[in-house]
């Protein structure tokens, strides 16, 4: 997806607040600009989101620098909390360099932070971008992240791409943490039921609006209302009708309205469910951006 086409128009505000439970505010599309001079500082990103009812954000780390950035940003902004981890696609390279154990130790240290560090993630398995030779390292990293989440009573945020069965197998082997979020849920209705049976929250991104995503819509229909979350994974996975443009938290209303239609409930009810669910999923409320 190109991130060079500029920001989409701001949608109509939601009738009640919601939380973007997975965002990457440190991506170059925000912090350094992209071709054409696109630039959106953190303050502006948060203000634009709050103006349409997205009043809180979970900033997610994918490696050591971004995890540290998430912790620092959450400490600086009351409406932001942090998730820290090594992305599964980071694990094979770190293992090859003999640095995986050390990096995991640093994630453990970051996860021990204060109230503004709420989650360990995004961790998990990714068989799309990493081949068979990298799976052993991914599994080892995933298992240790689960242990870190339990050790510090943090929410586990799972990245699962083309690895549904193995993700469940590892979770069953290690034991599911008290709070688990399936980031950018990518399975079907059957997999949704399997995750819910294990106590997980399912987080739907802009992909649920894509024309070819019948599996996600089927999954949403069978997910109990008290287990539904919403996210951007910004600056990626921009919802229709802006697919192909950069994503941001202020576009969440498009996804929420679409989800409400699929679930057959009012937008207001969907917003209130998402907001309440996010508090439970991430261990309690935190300050809204107003």
CA distances from 192 to 84, 123, 173, 222 (A): 25, 19, 19, 7
Q: What is the pTM of this model?
A: 0.95
CA distances from 261 to 139, 215, 223, 242 (A): 37, 16, 14, 18
pLDDT in tens, 152-193: 999 999 999 999 999 999 999 999 999 999 999 999 999 999
How is 34-89 classified by DSSP, letter by letter? -TTT----HHHHHHHHHHTTEEEEEEE-SSHHHHHHHHHHHHH-TTEEEEE---GG
Instruction: Please name the residue that has the structure tokens 């981890």.
Output: 85
Instruction: Check if the beta carbon of residue 259 is closer than 8 Å to that of residue 220.
Output: yes
pLDDT value for 34: 47
Per CATH, the homologous superfamily of domain 18-281 is: Metal-dependent hydrolases (3.20.20.140)
* Sequence ranges of the domains in the chain: 18-281
CA distances from 273 to 93, 124, 249, 281 (A): 40, 26, 18, 12
**Sign of torsion over alpha carbons 53, 240, 217, 282:** negative
pLDDT value for 275: 98
pLDDT in tens, 204-238: 999 999 999 999 999 999 999 999 999 999 999 99
pLDDT in tens, 47-97: 999 999 999 999 999 999 999 999 999 999 999 999 999 999 999 999 999
Query: What's the token pair of residue 38?
Result: 């696109």
pLDDT in tens, 226-281: 999 999 999 999 999 999 889 999 999 999 999 999 999 999 999 999 999 999 99
pLDDT in tens, 6-59: 789 999 999 999 999 999 999 877 654 444 445 678 999 999 999 999 999 999
Residue 243 per-residue DSSP state: B
Average pLDDT, the chain: 94
């Amino acid at each position: 997806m190109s991130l060079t086409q500029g920001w989409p128009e701001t949608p109509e505000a939601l009738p009640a607040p919601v939380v973007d439970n997975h965002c990457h505010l440190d991506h170059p599309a925000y912090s350094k600009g992209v071709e054409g001079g696109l630039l959106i500082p953190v303050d502006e990103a948060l203000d634009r989101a709050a103006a349409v009812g997205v009043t809180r954000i979970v900033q997610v780390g994918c490696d050591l620098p971004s995890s540290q950035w998430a912790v620092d940003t959450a400490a600086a902004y009351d409406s932001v909390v942090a998730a820290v981890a090594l992305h599964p696609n980071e694990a094979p390279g770190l293992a090859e360099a003999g640095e995986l154990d050390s990096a995991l130790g640093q994630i453990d240290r970051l996860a021990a932070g204060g109230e503004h560090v709420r989650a360990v993630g995004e961790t998990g398995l990714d068989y799309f971008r990493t081949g068979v030779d990298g799976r052993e390292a991914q599994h080892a990293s995933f298992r240790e992240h689960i242990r870190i989440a339990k050790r510090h009573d943090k929410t586990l945020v799972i990245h699962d791409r083309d690895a549904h069965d193995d993700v469940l197998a590892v979770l069953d082997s290690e034991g599911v943490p008290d709070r688990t979020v399936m980031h950018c849920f990518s399975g079907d209705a059957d997999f949704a039921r399997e995750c819910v049976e294990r106590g997980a929250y399912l987080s739907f991104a802009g992909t649920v609006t894509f024309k070819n995503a019948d599996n996600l819509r089927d999954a949403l229909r069978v997910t109990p209302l008290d287990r539904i979350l919403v996210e951007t994974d910004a600056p990626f996975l921009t919802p229709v009708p802006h697919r192909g443009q950069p994503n941001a938290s202020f576009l969440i209303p498009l996804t929420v309205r679409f989800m409400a239609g699929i679930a057959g409930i009012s937008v207001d009810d969907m917003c209130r469910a998402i907001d309440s669910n996010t508090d439970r999923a991430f261990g309690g409320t935190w300050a809204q951006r107003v």
